[in-house]
Chain A
């Protein structure tokens, strides 16, 4: 099998790891929480790093009037379908082996990835701004966790970073154009 095909095949398979590893992690650390509370965002559900973390996240958030973390979301239904579809598409493209298809797959993935992160931002914005007006603590600023990076919110240091699932997905997305360039270079030669 040609190197470019192997790369494209790998690129198409890597997103499937989103079903095993989380996409994103948000953690809260405070003096009273030497072991941070951490939520791992999976493609189809949320999970606490340690047992009880989701409930404890909600408990911290309820003081400022945030809603409870969702058990069900439209995204949890759509994302898995999109990922599986893209993965199957990538595998087919890999076997066809046309370089332009590699590039096409990359472009679609890049658009979908950007859309996914934008959706995540919108959700965080809504989550951080749509607060219960009766909350015990009224904030001057919105309580919005960052999409990417570290931010101090009240007594908590909030860290939001991509996890292994997204990192593997990212590698997959980069592998596709690499396959494209290898093919393109070959054709020139």
Chain B
């Protein structure tokens, strides 16, 4: 019995201990709870108030670009770029179909990775956002006035357009690289003949400083490695571009093994000022090729696609001083340049350490010819001669680095799922914070510029697992917001994003919001089928084609009764929104039309095509809740049999 009591006391004591320790944990939890509530305050933007930053986050395999506010993480708009969007009729209406034209024909989807913002003097200027299509190589330019895709240029002689679209510090160029080397020009050869026969190009696309229009100035022909990521030099290194490479083994199968054999791959340093000299000196070859250039005109609200036929090629193997290889350990992925332009960080994704090269040392090594051989005629610089330092074992699987304005760098680690803060120059690790989970890129507003805004860091995650309410096998994508103003980073917020968020760019709202356009002026509407008043509405037959010149205004269509359409006609609805009031779009959708709705902004004209297949009277209606009488915004089209002679007529309110 005594032993029993003793045992009981022992258990009781143990139980008490357990309670004590769990209390301790509770204490700890409540501390983090207090921190959490404080975090809530720091990301809370009261109703009706605005965020501090615009964040442009790539939509990855959705092909689009999403705009969020920081610090709230609220989603404002998804801008259709490389994929069809039924909501906005992008790629569905007659006006935007040409935007998705390529040399391969109409490509309705792509994989959008790296948004980057235009710059002036190394600072973000809030004019345009560029983003790449990885699958069918293209670069798009988005206006930050209308927040619409204004231009898409296809990149010929490329595949896997991944090391794109990064902007130089005066927006001289937006740069695109090749990840999947291919025969250039394309030809029918055995895949086994990869080595030496497959090539890559690095494209320099000139940006018109006035209107942002893109034009491929030249392409640099490179050995058949995989050019993974890039960043421009800035400040002292302005005029250079740095590309990470992997698969310098030039393997063409089972790359996960065969492209991981070399101890060091390269960062390719491109002297584009030198390239400009070579172009001036006529050292280029003209190559026949084919690529689409698609432009959306803000005044006609219409895109045009033109096929271009030629590019200028500079061959890096034969033009000295154009390209140097910087040996960098283990299949480097991220290639990031600090705000001063001195340090080039290569994140060897299979290495345990981060390699930092010095731009000054690189120039010295070139001057002193400290070469360790060459690859395809391109000098390989001596590693020790260019190395600025190594961040020793900061984590596992380093991918990308961004910088703040205080001399710190922040690197994402995919495998160990964390962000590590370290100091430039001392290469010491300062802090580390977990990400949930497996972070890819990180982003600091103004990151790719001389002037980062070191207040927040956004981690763009690859996996979310249990972080949000489950939604079946496919769960949401996410980003995480960290406060980086203190010595230690603080996780403030998880927010879901459209998928998949790769890279992002952000800018202060004050730089962009004041320029945001409110309406399109009806006066400036130069659409060939624009109808600028209800008096001018009409229906015109041209053989089997019928053009309806229609208008919308709260809350009716003009005309809203149309007769004389016949089965087999091709009916074009050219709809002009006569509104000149902010945030009063009208929509239109036709029963059975094999296309999307239109969503027409004030002052804009858009067109959809309807090919009626059945006799009858068919309704159409406004899809955007435009006013208190939105439900009344509807109309009918009478469709008669093919050979009938129902006269063509149209009316509104019997007139």
Contacts and interface: CB of A to CB of B under 8 A. Distances in A.
Contacts of A56: 580-581
A59 B554 contact: yes
A51 B519 CA distance: 10
Given A56-B580, A56-B581, A59-B553, A51 B629 contact: no
Nearest to A56: B581
A52 B553 CA distance: 13
A63 B629 contact: yes
A65 to B, nearest CB: 13
B628 A63 contact: yes
Nearest to A60: B554
Given A59-B553, A59-B554, A51 B580 contact: yes
B521 interface: yes
Contacts of A35: 582
17 contacts: A35-B582, A51-B521, A51-B580, A52-B519, A52-B580, A52-B581, A55-B580, A55-B581, A56-B580, A56-B581, A59-B553, A59-B554, A59-B579, A59-B581, A63-B628, A63-B629, A136-B629
B603 to A, nearest CB: 9
Given A52-B519, A63-B629, 7 more contacts: A35-B582, A51-B580, A52-B581, A55-B580, A56-B580, A59-B553, A63-B628
A38 to B, nearest CB: 13
Interface of B: 519, 521, 553-554, 579-582, 628-629
Contacts of B554: 59
A33 to B, nearest CB: 9
A136 to B, nearest CB: 6
Contacts of A55: 580-581
A53 to B, nearest CB: 9
* Closest 5 A/B residue pairs (Cβ): A52-B580, A56-B581, A55-B580, A59-B554, A52-B581
Contacts of B579: 59
A51 B581 CA distance: 9
A63 B629 CA distance: 9
Interface string A43-68: 00000000110011001000100000
Interface in A17-57: 35, 51-52, 55-56
A63 B519 CA distance: 23
A107 to B, nearest CB: 45
A57 to B, nearest CB: 10
Nearest to B583: A32
Contacts of A136: 629
A63 B554 CA distance: 9
Contacts of B519: 52
Nearest to B519: A52
Residue among A35, A52, A55, A136 having the largest count of chain B Cβ atoms under 10 Å: A52
Nearest to B48: A34
A136 B555 CA distance: 11
A51 B582 CA distance: 11
Contacts of B553: 59
Contacts of B582: 35
A161 B215 CA distance: 55
B642 to A, nearest CB: 39
A136 B521 CA distance: 28
Interface in A52-86: 52, 55-56, 59, 63
A42 B505 CA distance: 48
A143 to B, nearest CB: 16
Nearest to A59: B554
Nearest to B553: A59
B52 to A, nearest CB: 21
Interface in A106-165: 136
B442 to A, nearest CB: 37
Nearest to B578: A55
